[in-house]
Amino acid sequence: MKILVTGSSGLIGSEVCTYFATSGHKIHGVDNNQRATFFGQQGDTRWNQQRLQESLPEFKHHELDIRNREDVIALVGRINPDAIVHTAAQPSHDRAAAIPFEDFDTNAVGTLNLLEATRRHCPESPFVHMSTNKVYGDRPNTLELIENETRWDYASKEYAHGIAEDFPIDQSKHSLFGASKVAADVMAQEYGRYFGMPTCCLRGGCLTGPNHSGVELHGFLSYLVKCNLEGNEYRVYGYKGKQVRDNIHAKDVARFIDCFIHNPRSGEVYNLGGGKENSCSIIEAFQITQAITGKPQIHTYVEENRIGDHICYYSDLRKMRNHYPDWNISVSLETLFEEITTGWHERNSKA
């Protein structure tokens, strides 16, 4: 099977490449290190591209910008992939405000380019779009919350399992990033419903793992652990540091994508995160990291929260488990922290 992976040098893209390549599939990776343009040298992913090229014989890198419509259509036509996994994106809602055209052209237009290229050349190939829970905007913040010692949580039993896929996405503040991802999300659904193509949107929570190039504007756990190890200050933005995120290992993301590719549906949406079991607040993340490294977490508190930021969010995984009963979370929260810590140790030792 030939699989086209966009954003192949990023966290999820590289994990997908490795997962399928080790199963004997041919992988075509698309990346142009745009993350370094968005976030500077600390966001550079060339090291990951090199790792894939050196370790995966069945991996072929394509230096291509998904905003270039003609090049995207030509590449998909030339490869004629059996599946497309679209992970390339401008991923930061903070950064999007400073680069609105680049954000929308990458997230919305780039996704449309890939969907149309797929429809023209291989409409029966499963198309997996990595969306985001930011498509819900700040609507989750309107839910009644309870404040515990170290975290916020939902007050209503209706949300005991987290946010489900039928949660409203409009009449809320999304950030420009959230809006561009909504456009891409709805377009991916529409190509499934209108054209009958096998598409799905994975509305990710905090996707993470040891190969994440975490920066302050994107990559919560990775950046937090990096700050701890290097003794740098971590800034907490609002909500008393009790804001909650659910965290999922990139490997479990790849495992779900595998399930969908082998049993696809049309125009589907899934909230892909770690669920309540793998959720933690920033305060709790500090505690776990300090227990692993033995180093204090240097941090400062900023009263003003980030625009569109969620106070509490974790994914309701019941629909995913119902549609794909062979899939479940396999990497615990504690193991995630340990792997991220080891990953930064190894990377810093090679620097």
Residue 219 above 80 pLDDT?
no
Q: Name the nearest CA neighbour of 265 among 350, 202, 337, 330.
A: 202
pLDDT number for residue 351: 63
What value does the mean pLDDT take over residues 95-114?
96
User: Among 34-38, 197-201, 307-311, where is mean pLDDT lowest?
Assistant: 34-38
**Distance between CA 343 and CA 248 in Å, rounded?**
16
- Residue 245 and residue 76: Cα distance in Å, rounded? 35
pTM as predicted: 0.94
Please name every residue paired with 234 in a beta bridge, in sequence order, or none if there are none. Answer: 299
Give pLDDT, residue 214: 76
Average the pLDDT over 73-96 and give the result.
94
Query: Domain span at residue 248?
Result: 2-350
Q: Which tens digit of pLDDT belongs to each residue from 275-284?
A: 999 999 999 9
Tell me the pairing of strands 244-249 and 206-208. Answer: parallel
**Nearest of 286, 278, 282, 215 to residue 247 by alpha carbon:** 278
Distance between CA atoms of 268 and 198, rounded to whole angstroms? 8
Write down the pLDDT at residue 230. 95
Structure token digits, residue 335 = 């193991």
pLDDT at residue 184 in the model: 98
Give CA–CA dist 227/233, Å, rounded: 6
Half-sphere exposure of 8 (CA within 13 A, CB side): 30
Token digits for 245? 């995120």
User: Cβ of 155: how many Cβ atoms within 10 Å?
Assistant: 12
Count up the domains in the chain and report the number: 1
Q: Is the pLDDT of residue 68 over 70?
A: yes
Residue 247 bridge partners (DSSP): 206
- Tell me the CATH number at 206: 3.40.50.720
Contact 5, 30 (CB under 8 A): yes
The distance from CA 28 to its chain's CA centroid, rounded to whole angstroms, is: 20
Mean pLDDT of the chain: 95
CA dihedral 236, 241, 243, 248 (to 10 degrees): 70
